[in-house]
Amino acid sequence: MSRSSFVARVQRLRGAVSRIPFALRYRRADLCNSAAHAAIHASIPQHERLGILSRNFLAAFFLFCIGTQLSSAAELEDVELAKFWTPGVLHVPYRAIVTPGRRDHELLPLIVFLHGDWQDGTDNESQLAGRGNGSYELVDTARDGDVPLVYIAPQTTGAYWPPDRVVAVVRDALARWPVDPRRIYLTGISDGGAGVWDALKAYPRCFAAGVPMSGMTELAGLGPIRDIPQWVFHGEKDDDTDVETGYDGAMVGSRAVVRSLRAMGGTPRYTEYPGEKHVIWPRAYAEDALLPWMLDQRLRGKPCNFAARAR
């Protein structure tokens, strides 16, 4: 095997690994072992598996795997998110981080994560449990791809996300960082998923997209948000918020919400995990297509004046 052929094969191998879904990359040791086995027994003829392979190919692949192992140290940790509180009466606690990669004074997209009710409080810490309920995957993906953005995780009380509380945090973020007002995205889990829909309904011309997970909402008020890009996630066997009926009241589950939006002419994206229960968000936030899809969405029309909406 020539040196150029060897280099080409290593590059193809690196490319194949880079296309592995991000959610699986934490199993780098297994991945490298499996890929090495496949490379040896499939892509390289048997008579070439000795000599240059044992000395060069495996050495290069070993170094590549070491590199991917080291990159896992870049996973976001709670201590990296600075603490902030909004001014005024609401005094909303939130955590925030800005990923690197900003160029030429560009404005940055803003992702707002709304937690579930068991993380309520004012300590400005509980909302980060479980790596932000899996939402850190969005930050990890951004840092891995050198994508600049602002991620914030506010905290609420009373198992409810008043839309004005969400807006207060967005307003404060706009004042602190160079945020693009046309690229503000809401995502949340469980009661936070309900909070996403409530905020979209209250401010239908202010957010570029919504990503509710395991949430519910009333069918009333969906008309004005029909055309807002939405990617909705739910587990088929949700044991907390039924995918169809929610809590069996006016607020229905994601499947019913999506069906209603589509009947109105909307085109929400919907992912329902077969057999999954309530806690689907670590899997959902690790979807390879999620962050690119979010960042592709932009507000139509004139951006909101959040300063005028603050209370």
Q: What is the pLDDT of residues 95-125, one digit of tens each?
A: 999 999 999 999 999 999 999 988 999 999 9
58 has pLDDT over 90: no
39 has pLDDT over 70: no
* Banded pLDDT at 60 (limits 50, 70, 90): very low
Q: pLDDT per residue over 180-226, tens digit each?
A: 999 999 999 999 999 999 999 999 999 999 999 999 999 999 999 99
CA–CA distance, 111 with 240 (Å, rounded to integer): 26
Domains of the chain, by residue range, sit at 3-74, 78-302
Greater confidence (150 vs 29) lies with 150
**Mean pLDDT, all residues of the chain:** 83
- Strand 179-189 versus strand 108-114 pairing type: parallel
29 has pLDDT over 60: no
Q: What pLDDT score was predicted for residue 74? A: 76
Q: pLDDT per residue over 251-301, tens digit each?
A: 999 999 999 999 999 999 999 999 999 999 999 999 999 999 999 999 988
Q: Buried (b) or exposed (e) across 122-149, using 16+ Cβ within 10 A?
A: eebeebbeebbbbbbbbbbbbbeeebbb
The model carries a pTM of: 0.78
Q: Which CATH architecture has domain 78-302?
A: 3-Layer(aba) Sandwich (3.40)
Q: Buried (b) or exposed (e) across 78-98, using 16+ Cβ within 10 A?
A: eeebeebbbeeebebbbbbbb
